[in-house]
């Protein structure tokens, strides 16, 4: 009985996590990874609150 309950809880947690990640990517129109003509790969991320912090 407890193994079934633990399995059901982990399954529900996994489904909730997958759904949260899907909603993150549905909001942003980010195309990643991008394979460039010279064979390099560019990974793009959606980070609307990102800031550039350059130490002086």
Q: What is the pTM of this model?
A: 0.38
Q: Tell me: pLDDT of 41 over 70.
A: yes
In this structure, what are the phi and psi dihedrals at residue 41, rounded to the nearest 5 degrees? -120, 135
> Residues 6 or more apart from 32 whose CB is under 8 A from it?
42, 43, 44, 45
State the pLDDT confidence band at 39, using cuts at 50, 70 and 90.
very high
State the pLDDT at residue 7: 79
42 in Cβ contact with 34 (< 8 Å): yes
With respect to residue 47, please indicate whether it lies within any of the assigned structural domains.
no
In a domain, 52, yes or no: no
pLDDT class of 3 with cuts at 50, 70, 90? confident
Q: What's the domain count of the chain?
A: 1
Instruction: Write the pLDDT tens digit of every residue in 5-33.
Output: 887 877 776 665 555 454 555 555 777 78
């Amino acid at each position: 009985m407890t193994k079934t309950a633990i399995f059901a809880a982990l399954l529900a947690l996994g489904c909730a996590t997958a759904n949260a990640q899907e909603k993150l990517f549905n909001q942003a129109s980010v195309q990643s990874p991008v394979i460039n003509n010279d064979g390099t790969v560019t990974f793009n991320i959606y980070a609307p609150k990102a800031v550039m912090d350059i130490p002086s």
